[in-house]
Chains A and B, each alone.
Chain A
Amino acid sequence: DTGVSQDPRHKITKRGQNVTFRCDPISEHNRLYWYRQTLGQGPEFLTYFQNEAQLEKSRLLSDRFSAERPKGSFSTLEIQRTEQGDSAMYLCASSFMAGNFHEQYFGPGTRLTVT
C-alpha cells in the first residue's frame, strides 16, 4: 500500500489559466475527498465522492471548479480561469467506508501558486 498520492506536488500558473490536479487514493478506498488549505488556516472541505458518485459539494466550490472520479478510482480537480485567490494547498484524502468509523488518509497535497 503506497498511500494517497497527488500530482503535481507544486504548480505555478498565471492568472486566467486552467489547471488540473490528480489524486490517486489508496486502492480499495471507496471514498475520496478534496480539501483546500490556505496559509494559516485548517483544511476546508471542497467535495467528496463515494465510488464514482459526487455526493457533496461545498459552497467554496465555485463554478470554475470541477471534480471527477471516473470509474471510482483516481480523481481530478480542475480549476478554470484561475484567480490569485485560488492559491492554496489542495489536499486529497481517501477512506474505506465500513461500519461507523472510516479514517481519512491524506495525500501530500498540491501547492498551487497563481501569479
Chain B
Amino acid sequence: AQTVTQSQPEMSVQEAETVTLSCTYDTSESDYYLFWYKQPPSRQMILVIRQEAYKQQNATENRFSVNFQKAAKSFSLKISDSQLGDAAMYFCAYRSETSGNTPLVFGKGTRLSVIA
C-alpha cells in the first residue's frame, strides 16, 4: 500500500519570504500523480499543484512550485513571496494510475502560519 509522509506538523514563514514544505512517499508503482492541497481554516480543500510522475520537469503554478525527486520519492512544495492568505493546512497526496485506483492517499498535513 502506498503511504505519504509529511514530517513537519507545523511551519511558519514571514510574509514575502519563501517556505518549503516536505513530503515523502512510498510506492512500488511507476505511474502516479502527486498533489499538494490547501485547506484553509473552516474552508474546503483546494488543489494547489500537481505533478505527473512521468514528467521530469517540476510543476509550477505562479508562486507555488515543486521539487520532485522520483528516485528519492520526495515531493516538496515551495511557496515564494508568502502572503497572509497562504496560511492553511497543506496536504501532500498520491494517486495511483497503474491499477486504475483513483482515490487519493493523503499525508497528515503541515499547518503553515504566515507572520505579518
Q: Interface residues, chain A, CB within 8 Å of chain B?
A: 3-4, 31, 33, 35, 40-45, 48, 56, 58, 91, 95, 97, 100-104, 106-109
Contact = CB atoms under 8 A, between A and B. Distances in A.
Contacts of A101: 33, 50, 52
A108 B43 contact: yes
Contact of B108 (A40, A95, A103): A40
Contacts of A100: 52, 97
Contacts of B91: 42-43
Contact of B45 (A44, A45, A48, A106): A106
Contact of B109 (A42, A104, A109): A42
Minimum-distance CB pairs A-B, first 3: A42-B106, A45-B103, A106-B45
Interface string B77-100: 000000000000001010001000
Contacts of B43: 108
Contacts of A106: 37, 44-46
Nearest to B105: A45
B47 A103 contact: yes
A3 B105 CA distance: 22
A4 B45 CA distance: 11
Contacts of A91: 45
Contacts of B97: 100
A33 B103 contact: yes
20 contacts: A3-B44, A31-B102, A33-B104, A40-B108, A41-B108, A42-B6, A42-B91, A42-B93, A42-B107, A44-B106, A45-B103, A48-B102, A56-B103, A91-B45, A95-B102, A97-B102, A101-B33, A101-B50, A108-B43, A109-B44
